[in-house]
Protein backbone atom coordinates (compact mmCIF):
# COMPACT_ATOMS: atom_id res chain seq x y z
CA UNK A 1 0.00 0.00 0.00
CA UNK A 2 1.41 3.39 -1.03
CA UNK A 3 1.94 6.00 1.68
CA UNK A 4 1.87 8.85 -0.84
CA UNK A 5 -0.25 11.83 0.20
CA UNK A 6 -1.95 13.49 -2.78
CA UNK A 7 -1.35 17.24 -3.21
CA UNK A 8 -4.09 19.30 -1.58
CA UNK A 9 -4.45 21.92 -4.32
CA UNK A 10 -6.00 21.24 -7.73
CA UNK A 11 -3.53 20.99 -10.60
CA UNK A 12 -3.81 23.89 -13.03
CA UNK A 13 -2.22 24.49 -16.42
CA UNK A 14 0.21 27.10 -15.02
CA UNK A 15 1.24 24.67 -12.26
CA UNK A 16 1.65 21.90 -14.82
CA UNK A 17 4.00 24.10 -16.84
CA UNK A 18 5.90 25.30 -13.74
CA UNK A 19 6.62 21.71 -12.68
CA UNK A 20 9.25 21.44 -15.41
CA UNK A 21 11.24 24.36 -14.02
CA UNK A 22 11.17 22.79 -10.56
CA UNK A 23 12.32 19.43 -11.89
CA UNK A 24 9.05 17.88 -10.68
CA UNK A 25 8.06 14.83 -12.73
CA UNK A 26 4.40 14.74 -13.75
CA UNK A 27 2.31 11.57 -13.40
CA UNK A 28 -0.56 11.18 -15.89
CA UNK A 29 -2.95 8.27 -16.42
CA UNK A 30 -5.96 7.76 -18.65
CA UNK A 31 -9.49 7.23 -17.35
CA UNK A 32 -12.86 6.88 -19.07
CA UNK A 33 -15.46 6.65 -16.28
CA UNK A 34 -16.46 8.08 -12.88
CA UNK A 35 -15.20 5.24 -10.69
CA UNK A 36 -11.77 5.01 -12.31
CA UNK A 37 -11.36 8.79 -12.27
CA UNK A 38 -12.21 8.99 -8.57
CA UNK A 39 -9.64 6.32 -7.70
CA UNK A 40 -6.90 7.98 -9.75
CA UNK A 41 -7.73 11.44 -8.42
CA UNK A 42 -7.56 10.19 -4.83
CA UNK A 43 -4.27 8.41 -5.59
CA UNK A 44 -2.72 11.75 -6.54
CA UNK A 45 -2.21 11.72 -10.32
CA UNK A 46 -1.36 15.18 -11.65
CA UNK A 47 -3.55 14.85 -14.72
CA UNK A 48 -6.12 12.48 -16.17
CA UNK A 49 -6.22 12.05 -19.93
CA UNK A 50 -9.55 11.01 -21.39
CA UNK A 51 -7.87 9.37 -24.36
CA UNK A 52 -9.35 8.26 -27.65
CA UNK A 53 -7.64 5.00 -26.67
CA UNK A 54 -11.11 4.24 -25.34
CA UNK A 55 -11.82 3.07 -28.88
CA UNK A 56 -9.62 0.05 -28.12
CA UNK A 57 -9.80 -0.59 -24.37
CA UNK A 58 -13.47 0.36 -23.85
CA UNK A 59 -15.15 -0.13 -27.24
CA UNK A 60 -13.08 -3.11 -28.43
CA UNK A 61 -12.01 -1.66 -31.78
CA UNK A 62 -8.59 -2.35 -33.34
CA UNK A 63 -7.73 1.37 -33.35
CA UNK A 64 -9.05 4.76 -32.24
CA UNK A 65 -10.22 6.08 -35.61
CA UNK A 66 -13.90 5.33 -35.07
CA UNK A 67 -14.25 7.34 -31.86
CA UNK A 68 -16.54 10.35 -32.19
CA UNK A 69 -16.50 13.73 -30.48
CA UNK A 70 -19.87 13.00 -28.86
CA UNK A 71 -18.39 9.83 -27.33
CA UNK A 72 -15.36 11.74 -26.05
CA UNK A 73 -17.63 14.35 -24.48
CA UNK A 74 -19.73 11.66 -22.80
CA UNK A 75 -16.71 9.96 -21.25
CA UNK A 76 -15.21 13.31 -20.26
CA UNK A 77 -18.38 14.19 -18.35
CA UNK A 78 -18.18 10.88 -16.48
CA UNK A 79 -14.54 11.47 -15.57
CA UNK A 80 -15.16 15.07 -14.53
CA UNK A 81 -17.76 13.96 -11.99
CA UNK A 82 -15.16 11.78 -10.28
CA UNK A 83 -12.37 14.34 -10.20
CA UNK A 84 -11.62 17.08 -7.70
CA UNK A 85 -7.97 17.96 -8.16
CA UNK A 86 -6.38 16.37 -11.25
CA UNK A 87 -6.07 18.35 -14.48
CA UNK A 88 -8.53 16.93 -17.06
CA UNK A 89 -7.30 16.69 -20.64
CA UNK A 90 -9.50 15.33 -23.41
CA UNK A 91 -8.40 13.98 -26.78
CA UNK A 92 -9.89 15.53 -29.87
CA UNK A 93 -10.67 12.45 -31.99
CA UNK A 94 -9.90 11.79 -35.64
CA UNK A 95 -11.33 14.31 -38.13
CA UNK A 96 -12.55 16.77 -35.49
CA UNK A 97 -9.68 19.25 -35.97
CA UNK A 98 -7.92 18.35 -39.24
CA UNK A 99 -10.34 20.12 -41.61
CA UNK A 100 -9.61 23.66 -40.43
CA UNK A 101 -8.50 25.69 -37.40
CA UNK A 102 -12.10 26.79 -37.04
CA UNK A 103 -13.25 23.18 -36.82
CA UNK A 104 -10.58 22.56 -34.15
CA UNK A 105 -11.85 25.51 -32.12
CA UNK A 106 -15.46 24.35 -32.28
CA UNK A 107 -14.50 20.80 -31.25
CA UNK A 108 -12.30 22.02 -28.42
CA UNK A 109 -15.01 24.38 -27.22
CA UNK A 110 -17.49 21.53 -27.01
CA UNK A 111 -15.02 19.39 -25.03
CA UNK A 112 -14.65 22.19 -22.49
CA UNK A 113 -18.25 23.42 -22.38
CA UNK A 114 -20.13 20.12 -22.66
CA UNK A 115 -17.56 17.68 -21.29
CA UNK A 116 -16.05 19.66 -18.44
CA UNK A 117 -12.45 19.23 -19.61
CA UNK A 118 -9.77 21.71 -18.58
CA UNK A 119 -7.72 21.24 -21.76
CA UNK A 120 -7.67 19.30 -25.02
CA UNK A 121 -5.02 17.22 -26.77
CA UNK A 122 -4.53 16.94 -30.50
CA UNK A 123 -1.97 15.18 -32.65
CA UNK A 124 0.55 16.56 -35.11
CA UNK A 125 3.43 19.02 -35.24
CA UNK A 126 3.92 21.63 -37.94
CA UNK A 127 0.77 20.50 -39.75
CA UNK A 128 -1.34 21.15 -36.62
CA UNK A 129 0.27 24.44 -35.54
CA UNK A 130 -2.48 26.65 -36.99
CA UNK A 131 -5.19 24.56 -35.30
CA UNK A 132 -3.36 24.74 -31.97
CA UNK A 133 -2.93 28.50 -32.26
CA UNK A 134 -6.62 28.98 -33.09
CA UNK A 135 -7.75 26.96 -30.07
CA UNK A 136 -5.28 28.67 -27.75
CA UNK A 137 -6.49 32.07 -29.00
CA UNK A 138 -9.83 31.28 -27.33
CA UNK A 139 -8.03 30.59 -24.01
CA UNK A 140 -8.47 26.84 -24.33
CA UNK A 141 -5.27 25.06 -23.22
CA UNK A 142 -3.84 22.57 -25.73
CA UNK A 143 -1.52 19.60 -25.23
CA UNK A 144 0.30 18.44 -28.37
CA UNK A 145 1.18 14.88 -29.35
CA UNK A 146 4.22 13.85 -31.42
CA UNK A 147 5.98 10.65 -32.42
CA UNK A 148 3.67 7.69 -32.82
CA UNK A 149 0.36 9.45 -33.36
CA UNK A 150 -2.36 6.77 -33.24
CA UNK A 151 -4.69 8.68 -35.56
CA UNK A 152 -1.99 8.35 -38.26
CA UNK A 153 -1.75 4.59 -37.84
CA UNK A 154 -2.49 3.78 -41.49
CA UNK A 155 0.17 6.16 -42.82
CA UNK A 156 2.73 4.87 -40.34
CA UNK A 157 1.94 1.25 -41.12
CA UNK A 158 1.29 0.24 -37.53
CA UNK A 159 2.49 1.00 -34.03
CA UNK A 160 6.16 1.71 -34.75
CA UNK A 161 8.95 3.62 -33.03
CA UNK A 162 9.43 7.06 -34.61
CA UNK A 163 13.04 8.16 -35.24
CA UNK A 164 12.87 11.18 -37.62
CA UNK A 165 14.98 13.46 -35.41
CA UNK A 166 15.03 16.65 -37.46
CA UNK A 167 11.29 16.56 -38.17
CA UNK A 168 10.39 15.78 -34.57
CA UNK A 169 12.52 18.66 -33.31
CA UNK A 170 10.85 21.02 -35.78
CA UNK A 171 7.44 19.69 -34.80
CA UNK A 172 8.11 20.23 -31.09
CA UNK A 173 9.19 23.82 -31.69
CA UNK A 174 6.14 24.46 -33.88
CA UNK A 175 3.75 23.08 -31.24
CA UNK A 176 5.42 25.15 -28.51
CA UNK A 177 5.36 28.32 -30.59
CA UNK A 178 1.69 27.76 -31.42
CA UNK A 179 0.95 28.03 -27.71
CA UNK A 180 0.61 24.44 -26.44
CA UNK A 181 1.27 24.02 -22.73
CA UNK A 182 2.70 20.48 -23.01
CA UNK A 183 3.51 17.74 -25.53
CA UNK A 184 3.05 13.97 -25.38
CA UNK A 185 6.00 12.11 -26.91
CA UNK A 186 5.02 8.57 -27.90
CA UNK A 187 7.31 5.71 -28.99
CA UNK A 188 10.42 7.80 -29.53
CA UNK A 189 13.95 6.58 -28.67
CA UNK A 190 14.89 7.73 -25.18
CA UNK A 191 17.90 9.78 -26.30
CA UNK A 192 15.85 11.66 -28.89
CA UNK A 193 12.98 12.26 -26.47
CA UNK A 194 15.46 13.74 -23.98
CA UNK A 195 16.85 15.99 -26.72
CA UNK A 196 13.36 17.20 -27.58
CA UNK A 197 12.54 17.77 -23.91
CA UNK A 198 15.69 19.85 -23.44
CA UNK A 199 14.96 21.92 -26.55
CA UNK A 200 11.61 23.33 -25.38
CA UNK A 201 10.36 25.13 -22.28
CA UNK A 202 7.04 23.30 -21.94
CA UNK A 203 6.75 19.86 -20.28
CA UNK A 204 7.00 16.67 -22.31
CA UNK A 205 4.94 13.68 -21.21
CA UNK A 206 6.40 10.40 -22.40
CA UNK A 207 4.78 7.12 -23.31
CA UNK A 208 7.40 4.71 -24.54
CA UNK A 209 9.87 7.61 -24.76
CA UNK A 210 12.21 7.04 -21.82
CA UNK A 211 12.89 8.67 -18.48
CA UNK A 212 14.22 11.92 -19.95
CA UNK A 213 10.74 13.31 -20.44
CA UNK A 214 9.24 15.69 -17.88
CA UNK A 215 6.48 13.23 -17.00
CA UNK A 216 4.88 9.96 -18.01
CA UNK A 217 1.45 8.77 -19.16
CA UNK A 218 0.09 5.25 -19.42
CA UNK A 219 -3.29 3.73 -20.22
CA UNK A 220 -5.33 2.77 -17.16
CA UNK A 221 -6.13 -0.72 -18.46
CA UNK A 222 -2.46 -1.42 -19.21
CA UNK A 223 -1.22 -0.31 -15.78
CA UNK A 224 -3.76 -2.54 -14.03
CA UNK A 225 -3.43 -5.60 -16.27
CA UNK A 226 -6.97 -5.33 -17.61
CA UNK A 227 -6.20 -5.35 -21.32
CA UNK A 228 -4.29 -8.38 -22.57
CA UNK A 229 -4.82 -8.19 -26.32
CA UNK A 230 -1.98 -5.72 -26.85
CA UNK A 231 0.98 -5.46 -24.48
CA UNK A 232 3.38 -2.67 -25.44
CA UNK A 233 7.00 -3.23 -24.46
CA UNK A 234 7.14 0.08 -22.60
CA UNK A 235 4.21 -0.65 -20.27
CA UNK A 236 4.88 -1.61 -16.66
CA UNK A 237 1.96 -3.43 -15.09
CA UNK A 238 1.52 -2.31 -11.49
CA UNK A 239 -1.23 -4.87 -10.90
CA UNK A 240 -2.73 -7.91 -12.65
CA UNK A 241 -6.41 -7.32 -12.05
CA UNK A 242 -7.62 -9.20 -15.11
CA UNK A 243 -7.20 -12.67 -13.56
CA UNK A 244 -8.62 -11.44 -10.23
CA UNK A 245 -11.78 -10.13 -11.90
CA UNK A 246 -12.09 -13.32 -13.94
CA UNK A 247 -11.82 -15.50 -10.82
CA UNK A 248 -14.30 -13.38 -8.87
CA UNK A 249 -16.87 -13.57 -11.68
CA UNK A 250 -16.32 -17.34 -12.05
CA UNK A 251 -16.85 -17.88 -8.29
CA UNK A 252 -20.03 -15.81 -8.42
CA UNK A 253 -21.39 -17.88 -11.31
CA UNK A 254 -20.55 -21.11 -9.48
CA UNK A 255 -22.24 -20.04 -6.22
CA UNK A 256 -25.38 -18.84 -8.01
CA UNK A 257 -25.70 -22.08 -9.95
CA UNK A 258 -25.16 -24.17 -6.82
CA UNK A 259 -27.65 -22.13 -4.80
CA UNK A 260 -24.97 -20.92 -2.38
CA UNK A 261 -25.55 -17.24 -3.15
CA UNK A 262 -27.32 -15.39 -1.67
CA UNK A 263 -26.70 -17.08 1.67
CA UNK A 264 -28.24 -16.14 5.01
CA UNK A 265 -25.88 -13.19 5.46
CA UNK A 266 -26.79 -11.63 2.12
CA UNK A 267 -30.56 -11.51 2.08
CA UNK A 268 -33.27 -9.61 3.94
CA UNK A 269 -35.12 -11.31 6.78
CA UNK A 270 -38.79 -10.89 7.62
What is d(CA 195, CA 190) in angstroms, rounded to the nearest whole number?
A: 9
- Say how far apart CA 93 and CA 64 lie, in whole Å: 8
The neighbour count for residue 102, using CB atoms within 10 Å, is: 11
Please indicate if the annotation marks 53 as binding a ligand.
Answer: yes
CA–CA separation, 259 and 36 (whole Å): 32
Count Cβ neighbours within 10 Å for each residue of 34-71 and write b for 16 or more, e otherwise.
bebbbebbeeebbbbbbbbbbbbbbeeeebbbebebeb
Cβ count near 32 (within 10 Å)? 25
Per DSSP, helices labelled H in 122-204 are 129-137, 153-156, 165-178, 190-199
Distance from C-alpha of 47 to C-alpha of 80, rounded to nearest angstrom: 12
Distance of alpha carbon 182 from alpha carbon 81, whole angstroms: 24
Selected catalytic residue, list 126, 165, 186, 191: 186
Number of H helices, E strands in the chain: 11, 8
Q: How far is CA 21 from the centre of its chain?
A: 23
165 part of the active site: no
214 in a known ligand binding site = no
Residue 52, marked binder: yes
Phi, psi at 205, each rounded to 5°: -115, 115
Was 236 annotated as part of a binding site? no
Q: Which residues contact residue 267 at a Cβ distance below 8 angstroms, ignoring those fewer than 6 apart?
A: none
Query: Does the annotation flag 121 for ligand binding?
Result: yes
Binding-site residues for 3-methyl-2-oxobutanoate, in ranges, read 52-53, 91, 121
Binding-site residues for Mg(2+), in ranges, read 52, 91, 123
Could you list the active site residues? 186
Amino acid sequence: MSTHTPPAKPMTVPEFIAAKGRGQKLAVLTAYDFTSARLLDQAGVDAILIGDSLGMVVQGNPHCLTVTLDEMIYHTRCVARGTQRALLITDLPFMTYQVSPEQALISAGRAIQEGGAHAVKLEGGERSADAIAKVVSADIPVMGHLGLTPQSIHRMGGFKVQRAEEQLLRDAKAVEQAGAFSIVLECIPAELAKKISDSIAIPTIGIGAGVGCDGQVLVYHDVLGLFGEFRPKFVKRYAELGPIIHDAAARYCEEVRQGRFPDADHQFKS
